[in-house]
Amino acid sequence: MQPPILNIRDLEVEYDTSKGQLKAVAGLSLEVRQREVVGLVGESGCGKSSVALAINRLIPSPPGRITGGQILYKGRDLLSVSERKMRSIRGGEIAQMFQDPMTYLNPVMKVRTQLAETIAAHQGLSGPRALDGAIELLERLHIPSPSRIIESYPHELSGGMRQRVLLAMAISCNPSLLVADEPTTALDVTIQMQILNLLKESVTDLQTSLLLITHDLGVVAEICDRVYVIYCGKVIEHGNVYQIFENPQHPYTRGLLGSALSIAEFKEDLVAIEGAVPNMLSPPLGCAFHPRCPSCMYVCTNRLPEILQMEPDHQVACWLFSNHV
């Protein structure tokens, strides 16, 4: 088994709001091994994006802050390195992709300037060599007419093309880890598949590890080796992609899969998870999923479930499988 390149332990992230403190991440642990593609999946509002931001220490502060845990990257806790060191790791070793490339691309600069600057910063190339490197990268991502794309401003490109440019910038530093937060959510289905295939191809070629954050189980099934399912800022089940898709244990994972399969098969009796993600300002006691869970028992309403090992590398946090109830 490959050693983890990223090991997050008991991470906690909070935000101040006008109504009180909101705990977006509540003791989350996960690991990404070398050259592995790991999915972090859950509904909107479960804390996924806060995990993505925390890895690169980009939680906006105020109102947010990391209040506990460790983020070990190659064994070193990123929460205790200097900001200077963090700047060299961010973008240099850990690259990030976002749902909306326009939040990352500068709208008043041509692609050539942005890409060549990134290459110059990370590869030490300058002038024409950086520009050649930029065109080469776009060609590697199968972008047609790279010389035309490079002379465009971001607003002149389609959403899919902007996401490709962002991927080119992300991999230009040959990162050890890529964190992609909903990279295909804003795109139509055909383009989604193209971007996913490019992501997969790029991380395989570069031997990069990928943490893919998404609400879409179809995306997870397509490219992930292992999956963490998150609910209310905590991992409630994790396993390899076969364990999660063929033998899901947690009622929430089963509900997510039920909804996804029903939509895919156009079933009329759509299986959806009843209710909504709780307000994280006042999360439920006990198992956070209990107000929505069809298997809820009394213990679930007042005690946090134990984390149980179901099979090697397959864990679940649910009282249904405990011998202590």
Question: Which residues form the interface with ligand SF4 (CB under 6 A)?
Answer: 250-251, 287, 289-290, 293, 295-297, 300, 305, 318-320
Q: Judged by CB, which is closer to ligand SF4: 73, or 319?
A: 319
Q: Judged by CB, which is closer to ligand SF4: 81, or 310?
A: 310
* Closest CA relative to residue 280, chosen from 221, 231, 313, 320: 231
Q: β-pairing, 76-77 with 94-97?
A: unpaired
Q: Judged by CB, which is closer to ligand SF4: 168, or 318?
A: 318
Q: Judged by CB, which is closer to ligand SF4: 34, or 322?
A: 322
User: Residues 72, 99, 102, 17: what is their CA dihedral angle, to the nearest 10 degrees?
Assistant: -70
Q: How far is the CB of 297 from ligand SF4 (least distance, A)?
A: 6
Q: How far is the CB of 235 from ligand SF4 (least distance, A)?
A: 13
Spatial separation of the C-alpha atoms in residues 45 and 295, rounded to whole Å:
23
What are the structure tokens assigned to 325, written together? 């109830």
Q: How far is the CB of 315 from ligand SF4 (least distance, A)?
A: 13
Q: How far is the CB of 303 from ligand SF4 (least distance, A)?
A: 9
Residue with tokens 């460790």: 70
Q: Judged by CB, which is closer to ligand SF4: 73, or 289?
A: 289
Q: Where does residue 189 fall: left (phi above 0), alpha (psi -120 to 50 degrees), or beta otherwise?
A: alpha
Q: Judged by CB, which is closer to ligand SF4: 121, or 307?
A: 307
Q: How far is the CB of 250 from ligand SF4 (least distance, A)?
A: 6
**Helix extents (H) in 26-158:** 48-55, 83-89, 111-123, 127-140, 146-150
Q: How far is the CB of 233 from ligand SF4 (least distance, A)?
A: 15
* Closest CA relative to residue 13, chosen from 44, 58, 59: 59
